[in-house]
């Protein structure tokens, strides 16, 4: 079905929907079995269904080309905003035309008045599913996933389109490998940077579009939307790939909004072994001021590539190390959140500073636990490593009493894969990083594993 313009399509779709749904308070969703025609495409089976529409596998009745057909529920065709989003998505995607954005072949109206568009048929998993299955990724692997998405976003921005709902669940991983193939999906709330004359926007005063976990401050405020809005979402996505969770998390939408508007963005290195250079990329993306973010997606991608480069990479080597797992166990009883968080932050800061003062490198860190690792240098006396750690546990425990929490330290001796000089070695793996296999607790708060006991009883390191 030929459509001259978006407005013409909307008018005709509404007319068809009204005619089809006349007499129904809540129009039923029509059953579209195999053989139903959507233009020249024959529907074969349903792939997915939701509150707004359904997606079907289909085949061109003459050419035999396989495709996916997305159909908006007929009763929604009379709702101007839903119809506008549906038509806008098809037009915008077709306008950009990029290999990392799903292709749209055709669009029109079903006999019952339901709008549809035909797009390429894809299979794979969402990037969100990949993160859920694998947990956090290395910076280099995160870059491999983001490169094709950055290409798609840059093409969209050149075409005058801001996605404004970039998130891992809107990215399909079609093929894995050293250079994975991805597709950016869902341009349903995309914004045209330069609105066409007479064209309606998707927002009204006070309305906010996007997903709260990945929305930029200007989206919450109802401010100006542009490429920096997508750059902010790239920062959220990069953090999620590196850590396995969003930078700001809360079940309370108002609290989540407050975090995006006011809370300092967290450094990924607080939760995982991430370089300061990658930290800097994430923090610049998540700046509250859009003018201080990267000016373009390409600028972000260049910075991330530079941050993940290792021009003088040194092969890792196995070293004997001392490892300390420090953890804070909070009481099960309900307490004032602000009081608990403030006390916990104070304890964690004390533990981190104490470990660093004893030349331990932080290999892992969560909100309530730290793993410190120190390669053994020649001349190290066992007793020299023990007493400062006992004192650190006692000091941290005194601070934790304010919220009735317990601080546990466990000293271990074992092997780690490290890179760099012994004084500033980066821990990249090894048995000691598998904390659950050796960590123990002592009622007194300070535990020593058997390998560590044997080390403490031995002579100084040679």
Query: Catalytic residue numbers?
Result: 165
The neighbouring-strand residues paired with 318 are 417
Cβ-contact 154, 298 below 8 angstroms: yes
Give, in order, the Cα–Cα distances in Å from 148 to each of 29, 42, 169. Answer: 37, 32, 15
- Kindly list the strands in the beta sheet with 104-109, ordered across the sheet, starting from the edge strand earlier in the chain: 37-38, 41-49, 53-60, 66-72, 115-119, 104-109
Q: Which residues contact 258 (CB under 8 A, 6 or more apart)?
A: none
Contact present, 82 and 52 (Cβ < 8 Å):
yes
Q: List the Cα angle 80/84/90 in 5-degree steps.
A: 155
For the residues of 256-267, what is the DSSP string, one character each? HHHHHHHSPPPP
DSSP 27-86: PPPPP--TT-EETTEEEEEEEEE-SSEEEEEEEETTT--EEEEEEE-GGGTTSHHHHHHH
CB of 218 within 8 A of CB of 202?
Answer: no
The residues near 436 (Cβ < 8 Å, ≥ 6 apart) are none
Q: Are strands 161-162 and 191-192 parallel, antiparallel or unpaired?
A: antiparallel
Q: Which tokens is 29 given?
A: 């969703």
Angle between the 139-158 and 227-243 helix axes, to the nearest 10 degrees? 160
The DSSP line for 408-424 is EEEEEEEEEEEES-GGG
Q: What is the spatial distance between Cα 19 and Cα 21, in angstroms, rounded to a whole number?
A: 6
């Amino acid at each position: 079905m030929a459509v001259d313009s978006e407005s013409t399509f909307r008018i005709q779709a509404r007319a068809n929907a009204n005619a089809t749904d006349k007499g129904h308070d809540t129009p039923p969703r029509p059953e579209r079995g195999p053989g139903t025609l959507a233009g020249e495409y024959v529907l074969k089976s349903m792939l997915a269904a939701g509150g707004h529409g359904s997606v079907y596998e289909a085949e061109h009745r003459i050419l035999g080309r396989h495709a996916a057909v997305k159909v908006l529920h007929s009763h929604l065709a009379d709702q101007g905003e839903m119809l506008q989003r549906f038509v806008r998505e098809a037009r915008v995607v077709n306008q950009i035309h990029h290999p990392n954005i799903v292709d749209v072949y055709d669009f029109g109206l079903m006999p019952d008045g339901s709008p549809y568009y035909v797009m390429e048929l894809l299979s794979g998993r969402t990037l969100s599913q990949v993160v859920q299955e694998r947990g956090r990724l290395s910076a280099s692997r995160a870059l491999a996933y983001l490169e094709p998405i950055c290409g798609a976003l840059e093409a969209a921005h050149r075409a005058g389109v801001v996605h404004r709902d970039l998130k891992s669940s809107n990215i399909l991983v079609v093929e894995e490998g050293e250079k994975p193939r991805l597709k950016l999906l869902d341009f349903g709330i995309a914004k045209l940077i330069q609105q066409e004359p007479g064209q309606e926007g998707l927002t009204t005063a006070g309305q906010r579009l996007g997903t709260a976990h990945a929305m930029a401050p200007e989206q919450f405020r109802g401010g100006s939307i542009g490429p920096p809005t997508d750059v902010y979402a790239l920062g959220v996505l990069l953090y999620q790939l590196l850590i396995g969770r969003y930078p700001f998390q809360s079940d309370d939408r108002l609290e989540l909004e407050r975090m995006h508007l006011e809370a300092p963005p967290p450094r990924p290195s607080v939760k995982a072994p991430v370089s300061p250079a990658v930290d800097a990329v994430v923090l610049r993306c998540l700046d509250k001021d859009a003018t201080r973010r990267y000016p373009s997606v390409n600028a972000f991608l260049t910075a991330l590539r530079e941050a993940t480069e290792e021009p003088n990479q040194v092969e890792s080597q196995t070293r004997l190390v001392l490892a300390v797992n420090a953890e804070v166990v909070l009481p099960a009883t309900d307490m004032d959140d602000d009081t608990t968080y403030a006390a916990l932050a104070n304890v964690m800061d004390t533990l981190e500073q104490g470990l660093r003062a004893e030349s331990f490198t932080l290999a892992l860190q969560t909100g309530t636990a730290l793993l410190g690792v120190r390669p053994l240098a020649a001349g190290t006396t066992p007793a020299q490593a023990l007493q400062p750690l006992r004192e650190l546990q006692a000091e941290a425990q005194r601070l934790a009493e304010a919220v009735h929490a317990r601080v546990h330290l466990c000293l271990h001796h074992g092997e780690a894969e490290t890179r760099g000089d012994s004084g500033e070695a980066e821990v990249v793996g090894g048995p000691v990083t598998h904390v659950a296999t050796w960590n123990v607790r002592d009622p007194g708060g300070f535990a020593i594993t058997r390998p560590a006991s044997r080390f403490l009883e031995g002579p100084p390191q040679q």
